Amino acid sequence: MDINSILDIDKTISRELFLDCTYYFEVLPKIKDYIVKLGNSLDKNKYKEIDTNIWIGENVIIDKLSTIIGPCIIDDNTEIRPGAYLRGNVIIGKNCVIGNSTEIKNSIIFDYAQIPHYNYVGDSILGYHSHLGAGVILSNLKNDKSDIVIKNGNEKIETNLRKMGAIVGDNTDIGCNSVVFPGSIIGKNTSIYPLTRIRGVIGSNLIVKDDNIVVERENR
C-alpha cells in the first residue's frame, strides 16, 4: 500500500506541516513548535487564546471537567466533553468530538473525526471523518522501548522514533476495545471489527474481522 495516500491534508488546519514530509510520521516531532508558530499567526478575531498557547476557534464547546494542556489548537465547531484530557501538542480539527475519559497527546486529529469514549491516542494522526469506538487504544511505545519500524510488505521503514502510535486513514472506523500496536498504519475507508488487535500496515477499502480476517469492501 502507498502509505502516503491515505490522508487528505486539505482537511486539517495543519496542512502546511505535511508538505515537506516524505512520510506522514515525520510531522510528529514537529507538532509542538508548529502549534506555537501557527497559533500566533491565527486571526485574533476568529481564534481566541484562552490560556498560554491554547487557541480555540469559533463555536467550540469545552466542558469544565475537561483538561487541556498547551500547546494546543482546537478548530471550529468541535466539542470537548467531560473528562477529556488533551495532554499537550495536540491539533484538533473542525467539527470533531473528543469524548469522556479520552486522552490525547502529541497528535493531529483531522476535521470531523470522532474519539468519543475511553480512548488513548498517543503520537498519532487520525484522518478526516475517522472514528474510534469506545475503548480503542492507539498504543505508542513498544515494551522494549526500541525505535518503531514500520513493516509495509517487504519494506521496512525506520522511523527513528521511540514513540509512534498509529496513522489512521480518512473515513476509517475502528471498533470498540480494539488495540492498535505502535507504528501501525491503517488505510482509508477501512472498518476494523471490535476486539481486534492491529499491527503493521492495513490497506484501504477493507473490513478487518477477528483473527485479522480481511475482506475487501466497496469504496465509500
Tell me the per-residue pLDDT of 12-31, one tens digit each, with 9 for 90 and over: 999 999 998 999 999 999 99
Which pairing describes strands 120-122 and 137-138: parallel, antiparallel, or unpaired? parallel
**End-to-end alpha-carbon separation of the chain, Å?**
18
- Confidence band (pLDDT; 50, 70, 90) for 217? confident
Mean pLDDT of 52-60: 98
pLDDT at 218 over 80: no
More confident residue, 220 or 145: 145
- Confidence band (pLDDT; 50, 70, 90) for 211? low
Return the amino acid letter for 203: G
In the numeric block, the cell 491554547 is attached to: 54
List, by residue number, the catalytic residues.
117
Q: What is the mean pLDDT of the chain?
A: 94
Return the amino acid letter for 190: T
Mean pLDDT of 163-191: 97
The b-or-e profile of 159-169 (16+ CB within 10 A means b, else e) is bebebbbbbbb
| Rounded percentage of the chain residues whose pLDDT exceeds 70 | 97
pLDDT at 219 over 60: no
pTM of the predicted model, to two decimals?
Answer: 0.95
Mean pLDDT of 148-170: 94
**DSSP string computed for the chain:** --TTSS--GGGSTTHHHHTT-SSGGGGGGGHHHHHHHHHHHS-TTT-EEEETTEEE-TT-EE-TT-EE-SSEEE-TT-EE-TT-EE-SSEEE-TT-EEEET-EEESEEE-TT-EEEES-EEES-EE-TT-EE-TT-EE--B-TT-PPPEEEETTEEEE---SB--EEE-TT-EE-TT-EE-TTEEE-TT-EE-TT-EE-SEE-SSEEE-GGG-EEE----
Mean pLDDT of 155-169: 96
Q: pLDDT value at position 1?
A: 62
Mean pLDDT of 53-60: 98
| Rounded percentage of the chain residues whose pLDDT exceeds 90 | 89
Q: Residue 170: which of 214, 109, 117 has the closest Cα?
A: 109
CA atoms within 13 A on the CB side of 220: 18
Please state the domain extents for the chain.
9-216
pLDDT at 142 over 60: yes
Please give the Cα distance from 102 to 119 (Å, whole number).
5
Mean pLDDT of 191-217: 87
How far apart, in Å, are the Cα atoms of 103 and each of 9, 17, 30, 132, 205?
23, 23, 20, 13, 28
Give me the CATH code for the 9-216 domain, please: 2.160.10.10
